[in-house]
Amino acid sequence: MSKTSQQIVTVPQLASDAGSEQILAAGLAAATGPVSLACSFSVEDVVLIDILHKVAPEVRVFALDTGRLNEETYEVAEALRERYALAIDWYFPERQAVEQLEREKGLFSFRANLDNRHECCRVRKVEPLGRALAGKGGWITGLRRAQSVTRTGLAAIELDQANGGLLKINPLLNWSDEQIWDYAKEHCLPVNRLHRQGYPSIGCAPCTRPIREGEHPRAGRWWWENPENKECGLHR
């Protein structure tokens, strides 16, 4: 996005109880270029694909294949492709960057310290995201305030300065876990099998574990780190 278009973008003001379709409509109308949904094939993203299919089928979907996703994640992607005749724009890490990282630091460098983990996420997620968002006016996410201590300050529509000032649209901002699952069940949506095996939050396989009773839903992500650090750099 050019500097000129960044300067004229304004974030729509929405009521605190605005629904997902209102948030989507406002974000799509305000964006100065194409808008895409970033999909990790979580239950939230599956819900969003179903909503978009009904109200904004022109919105494209992209996904980041880090090279370390669970097989169950690919199963959901394929189920969605078949159900909605969905064209998914896949983005992969740069081959040379992955090869260099693994040659120099091995396969599990991300568990050594926070800097190493951020480096791995930058190579496998952040750089591909930059390519996925090139030329976009906005992107849609499945972020919810209830997911994490790092997400309580989210707005329905934000200016994403970390990615060039485009709009970041969060239609499920205020949805509870119960609302998400009720919608998925009511509409018989394909859901990642790992969700029912104790994985409320699913990322790369080596960085995700099932949670124990009483743990926070994001406790299984990078479980060796403090809660305030549990973002991969996609949502800065």
Residue 1 tokens, joined: 């996005």
Query: Pick the catalytic residue: 39, 120, 204, 232?
Result: 232
**How far apart are the two ends of the chain, measured CA to CA in Å?**
18
Residue 24 tokens, joined: 């989507």
Return d(Cα 95, Cα 100) in angstroms, integer. Answer: 9
Residue 9 in contact with residue 167, Cβ under 8 Å?
A: yes
Active site residue 232: yes
- Beta carbons within 8 Å of 37's beta carbon, 6+ residues apart: 45, 48, 49, 52, 59, 60, 61, 62, 139, 140, 141
Largest CA distance in the chain: 51
With tokens 């699952």, the residue in question is: 181
Return d(Cα 147, Cα 200) in angstroms, integer. Answer: 9
Its sign, for the CA torsion 68, 70, 71, 73, is: negative
- Beta carbons within 8 Å of 77's beta carbon, 6+ residues apart: 39, 41, 63, 88
Residue 50 tokens, joined: 């179903």
Residue 30 tokens, joined: 């305000």
Which residues belong to the active site? 232
